[in-house]
Amino acid sequence: MSEREPPDPLAGLGERIDRARAERVREQATVGDRSAVQQGVGFGLRIGIELVVAIGVATGLGWVIDRWLGTQPWGIIVLFFLGIAAGMLNVYRAVSGIRAPVGFRKLDGEGAAGGARPDAWDDDEN
Amino acid sequence: MAIELRPLEQFTIERIIPIHIGGLDLSYTNAALMMTIAVIFATALMVLATRRAALVPGRWQSVAEMLYEFVADMVDSNIGQGGRQFFPFVFTLFTFILFANLLGMIPYSYTTTSQIIVTFALAAVVFILVTAIGIIRHGFHFLSLFVPHGVPKVLLLLLVPIELLSYFIRPFTLSIRLFANMLAGHTMLAIFGGFAASIGLFAFFPTAINVLLVGLEFLVAVLQAYVFAILTCLYLSEAVHLH
């Protein structure tokens, strides 16, 4: 009568852990995809309005200045073009992923905010 | 039997409790009521869900924890160092807009965020806070934000006004984005709904479209709250980490 050994609880444990890990990585990859899509949609909604509002607000400001100083039509003309420039600047910055929306310099990642921060908007570029 | 289409009627403001002080109309309106409800719901969710905090969270507790982690993540990855002190502000803003948007999706309720004065007030708070933090932390150096580096002096005459303009436009883009999305979405729902009601037999098609639109509106409601919060984070990050 041979003594039957109880099954080793640790047998195959490493394999099981590996399998679970692989599954988890795969899961995270799909989650990442989804949040990239979500960010893309948010990004699109954000860009769409940027240019229009910039031009509208600037032109409105020009109109107010004109009425205030009596300089028709120069305020509207000048501020209309400045508004186009400002709107394009905002769109360009948002698209190119420069962190600091105002001011032409890039924020250096290591000094400013602790290492390479994952850029929320960069996901759409690849 | 003509059914009148009035898709904008849903945005009418009605005075529930008229209050007039001096020349000011401070009435408690249906918009104010929905804001109150949004605040009560958001507070109730956080307070009740975490009252009996368990190590293994129940349903409500996990909702509250997910909300918390989502915003904490957003604040950490966008403001970075020294961002945690702004967490309460961003969290409050995000949950309030989220609840206001989502409560607006309930039929016969009212979407407060479709009123531009509401979204503009929120955006103005963000703008003033960001500017104040920039000035308090950096003093006059904050103004260097508007002067681009390495540009010929002559061009500065042109570039500084552009930079100033693109800075002062922020509260407008922030508020108009949220307001326009909510207004357009709810108007569209009302138009398709009225359309379905008026054509009788073939009402199936506009109704089907409306079902899809409701789904889209839920997406927009959540996404716009997210966009508002993440832009707040970006602006704060800029004011905090100025060179």
**A77 located within any domain:** yes
**A121 located within any domain:** yes
Q: Which residues of chain A lie closer than 8 angstroms to B131, CB-CB?
A: none
Instruction: Please tell me the total count of domains within chain B.
Output: 1
CB of B230 closer than 8 Å to CB of B79: no
Closest partner residue to B80 (CB to CB) among A49, A103, A113 is: A113
pLDDT score recorded for residue A106: 43
CB of B240 closer than 8 Å to CB of B82: yes
Q: How far, in Å, CA of B228 to CA of B123, rounded?
A: 9
User: Is the minimum CB–CB distance between A58 and chain B shorter than 8 Å?
Assistant: yes
User: Is the minimum CB–CB distance between B116 and chain A shorter than 8 Å?
Assistant: no
User: Is the minimum CB–CB distance between B156 and chain A shorter than 8 Å?
Assistant: no
**B31 located within any domain:** yes
pLDDT range class, residue A43, cuts 50, 70, 90:
confident
The mean pLDDT value for A22-40 works out to 65
**Coil vs helix vs strand at A23:** helix
pLDDT range class, residue A64, cuts 50, 70, 90:
very high
Kindly report, residue by residue over B7-23, the tens digit of the pLDDT.
888 888 888 888 888 88
DSSP annotation of A73: T
pLDDT score recorded for residue B91: 96
Contact B169 A113 (CB under 8 A): no
Q: How many CB atoms lie within 10 A of CB B29?
A: 21
Q: Which residues of chain A lie closer than 8 angstroms to B230, CB-CB?
A: 42, 120
Q: A62: domain range?
A: 13-125
Instruction: Please tell me the total count of domains within chain A.
Output: 1
**A24 located within any domain:** yes
Phi-psi region of A11 (alpha: psi -120 to 50; beta: other; left: phi over 0): beta
Q: How far is A31 from chain B (nearest CA, A)?
A: 14
User: How large is the C-alpha radius of gyration of chain A?
Assistant: 28
Q: How far, in Å, CA of B9 to CA of B113, rounded?
A: 15
Q: How many CB atoms lie within 10 A of CB B153?
A: 6
pLDDT range class, residue A36, cuts 50, 70, 90:
low
Give the CA distances from residue A79 to residues A52, A72, A76, A92, B165, in Å, rounded to whole numbers and listed in that order. Answer: 14, 12, 5, 19, 9
Contact B166 A90 (CB under 8 A): yes
**B3 located within any domain:** no
Amino acid identity for residue A18 in this structure: D
Q: What is the mean pLDDT of chain B?
A: 89
pLDDT score recorded for residue A97: 62
Kindly report, residue by residue over B145-203, the tens digit of the pLDDT.
888 888 888 888 888 989 899 899 999 999 999 999 999 999 999 988 888 888 877 88
**A1 located within any domain:** no
Q: How far, in Å, CA of A99 to CA of A96, rounded?
A: 9
**Nearest residue on chain A to B145, judged by CA atoms?**
A103
Residue whose structure tokens are 């708070």: B125
Q: How far, in Å, CA of A53 to CA of B179, rounded?
A: 12
pLDDT score recorded for residue A52: 87
The mean pLDDT value for B88-105 works out to 95
**B198 located within any domain:** yes
Burial class (CB in 10 A: 0-12, 13-18, 19+), B192: buried
CB of B138 closer than 8 Å to CB of B132: no
Phi-psi region of A114 (alpha: psi -120 to 50; beta: other; left: phi over 0): left
pLDDT range class, residue B2, cuts 50, 70, 90:
low
Element (H, E) at B25: strand B24-25
**Nearest residue on chain B to A117, judged by CA atoms?**
B77
pLDDT score recorded for residue A113: 39
**A5 located within any domain:** no
pLDDT score recorded for residue A114: 38
**Whole-complex ipTM:** 0.71
Contact B148 A46 (CB under 8 A): no
**A4 located within any domain:** no
Q: B106: domain range?
A: 9-240
Q: How far, in Å, CA of B147 to CA of B158, rounded?
A: 11
**B147 located within any domain:** yes
Q: How many CB pairs under 8 A join A and B?
A: 106
**B1 located within any domain:** no
Query: B145, B166, B174: which to substitute to probe chain A, counting the most A Cβ within 10 Å?
Result: B166
**A6 located within any domain:** no
**Predicted structure pTM score:** 0.77
Amino acid identity for residue B104 in this structure: G
Alpha carbon A57 to its chain's center = 24
Q: How far is A15 from chain B (nearest CA, A)?
A: 28
Q: How far, in Å, CA of B238 to CA of A117, rounded?
A: 14
pLDDT score recorded for residue A4: 67
pLDDT score recorded for residue A104: 41
**A70 located within any domain:** yes
Whether the predicted pLDDT of A103 surpasses 50:
no
